[in-house]
Structure formats: structure tokens, C-alpha cells
Amino acid sequence: MKWWTAVIFCLLVVGISSCKKETETTVPAGNVTFSVQHLVNGEPLRENELIYTNAAGNPYLIVGLMYFISDVTFYKSDGNKTIISQAKDIFYIDEDMADTKILKFADKIPAGAYDSITFIFGISEEKNKSHRFLNPPEVNMAWPEVLGGGYHYMMMNGKWKDTLDVVKPFNFHFGIGQLYHGNTYNTDSIYAFVQNYFKVKLPGSAFVLNDGQTLTFKLQMNIEKWFTTPHIYDHNHWGGAIMQKQPAMQMIKENGWDVFSITQ
């Protein structure tokens, strides 16, 4: 009896395994990687050189550029979409850290034809919580608690030459905004916070991904466009620090619509 019981058990196991193999299907999929580039007027960014002039006529230089993008989403022609989220959904990018400029998405992307790619510039209100990051470099992007908490969407630091030809530092820092009672920036008069993150829809981002294929896209930030359209951003008007100036951050948000481009 024991011998026949063992035989029957083995046959059942083999049968179940065979059924599983017959019913299991592998969804055709591939991988996508972003190679990030920072450009000014179509040329690679050169830091610490006073060689640029923005749309307001401000001569300027960049000494550091750090920011977050999140919720990268791929939209298929049939209406389905894939949101990068399995292993990592928020990406820190730093001009001075080469490894942060290669985004290798852990999620498999279903094969097929895609219409477009989008992402959030910054971090959504739901995810932008203080103490989310515990280690550098991300922890160094903390936004002051009294100004809304969470993290900077972007820190672009540099210098500009004012109307008297004096070179002054600027902190083009973008994050959660504040609304104040009266004409003061006293933090005791804050009555509301403004979520300034925004969605970027990359123009010309349709593509076809085949099973087993890895596609690498060049994601480009065109820095001069932060200062251009629809608003001419003038460092002489806004000065060197804007973390408490929601009107300035609103301009940055609205100018961000065409800052990014993508190519294969």
C-alpha cells in the first residue's frame, strides 16, 4: 500500500506540474533606460563658466544642478499604461554624479507600440514626505519643515551679473510654495502651502518595444528654457533666493512645460 501510495503521489505531482507549465505564459517585455543630459542652447552644460545669458539678458553660470523626477509612465496605443514603481519610483539626478544620470528601470515594460512618455517633475504631495530619505545625496534635498517639509524638487545653484556688473549668487530652488498674510515673508503668517510639482509630457516620445529588447533614450534638460516661456525670468527682479517667493516658483512651474526633450 505504501508503494502504490508513493506512485500515485508522484503521478499527481507530475500532472500538476505539467498543467502549470501548460497554463503559464510569459508576457513579451523589454527594458528601458534613460541617459540624462543637461544642455544649454543645445550644448552640454559647462559648470562654473560665466558664458550664458538668459532671455532677460542676465549673464549667468551654473555651479550645481540636482533634482527629482518620479512616476515615469509609458502609455500604449491601446490605452494601457505602465508606471515605473516596482523597485524605485523616485529618481535623484545630479549633474556632478554620473551614476545618477543613468536611469535603469527595474520594471519590465510590456512589449508593444507606445504613444508617449510622461513623468512628474519633483515629487507628488502623496509621496513628498519628510524623512523619506535617510542617506545622502537625497537627504541633502530636504525642504525646510516650516516651509512645507518634504524635499526640493530642484536645486539649481549659480551666479548672475546684475545691472551694475556685480556677480551675485542665486539659488534657483524649487519646491513647495507658501501663501502669506500681508506683504511679509514671516513664517508665522503662512496660511497655506502650494504643491508646485507638475507633469511633463515628452514630445515625440512614441516608440515600439520588442520582446527582449532594451531601449536607451536620451532625456535632455534644456536649461535655458527655465527662464524663457511663457515667462521671462529675470534674476535682477527675483534676486538670489526664491524659496519663499511663490510667484517666482509659479513662473518656474509654468516655464517647465518644454524644458525636457527626448530622443533615441
Confidence of residue 77 (pLDDT cuts 50, 70, 90): confident
Confidence of residue 25 (pLDDT cuts 50, 70, 90): low
Q: Where are the alpha helices (DSSP H) in the chain?
A: 2-23, 235-238, 246-255
CA distance 225 to 106: 31
Lowest-confidence pick of 11-25, 39-53, 62-76, 215-229: 11-25
Confidence of residue 19 (pLDDT cuts 50, 70, 90): very low
Q: What is the pTM of this model?
A: 0.88
Q: Is the peptide bond before 59 cis (omega within 30 degrees of 0)?
A: no
Helix (H) or strand (E) holding 110: strand 109-110
- The answer to whether the Cα torsion of 43, 45, 51, 54 is positive or negative is positive
Question: Closest Cα to residue 194, out of 254, 257, 240, 235?
Answer: 254
pLDDT in tens, 124-176: 999 999 999 999 999 999 999 999 999 999 999 999 999 999 999 999 999 99
Burial class (CB in 10 A: 0-12, 13-18, 19+), 234: middle
CA distance 99 to 97: 6
Confidence of residue 6 (pLDDT cuts 50, 70, 90): very low
Instruction: Quickly tell me which residue has 525642504 as its cell.
Output: 143
